[in-house]
Amino acid sequence: MEQIKCPKCGAIDQFYTELKANNNVARCSLCDTFIKNIPYQTEQAFYFGKYNGKKVSEVDDLGYLKWAVENTKPKPAMREAILKQISKVENLSR
């Protein structure tokens, strides 16, 4: 994982996170300066349907995965995660 450095005091990896305006924000623990927005999670998860809250990598329902990628217009990262899982499930079934 990359180091997070405070632009004001130069502290490295001395930060806390908080939710602000729908963003996960890193702030310096020493001087309370905004550092940067950071991702919520690294793995994509469904936010709808019967697999709501489950990580894409945990879903083995091939029909649902194909439906989701074709009908929900997912963002590029989500689309890629679903397509990767479809490939994985298809290869396991062979």
| HSE-CB of 53 using CA atoms within 13 angstroms | 1
pTM for the whole structure: 0.57
pLDDT band of 31, cuts 50, 70, 90: very high
CA dihedral for 57, 86, 90, 53, sign (positive or negative): positive
Q: Which domain holds residue 17?
A: 1-40
- Say yes or no: 11 and 33 in one domain: yes
- Say yes or no: 56 and 33 in one domain: no
Q: How far apart are CA 48 and CA 55, in angstroms?
A: 12
Structure token pair of residue 12: 């490295």
Total structural domains in the chain? 2
Structure token pair of residue 20: 């602000």
Best CA proximity match to 27, nearest among 14, 41, 9: 14
Residue pLDDT, tens place only, 58-93: 999 999 999 999 999 998 989 999 999 999 999 887
What contacts 84, CB < 8 A, 6 or more positions away? 56
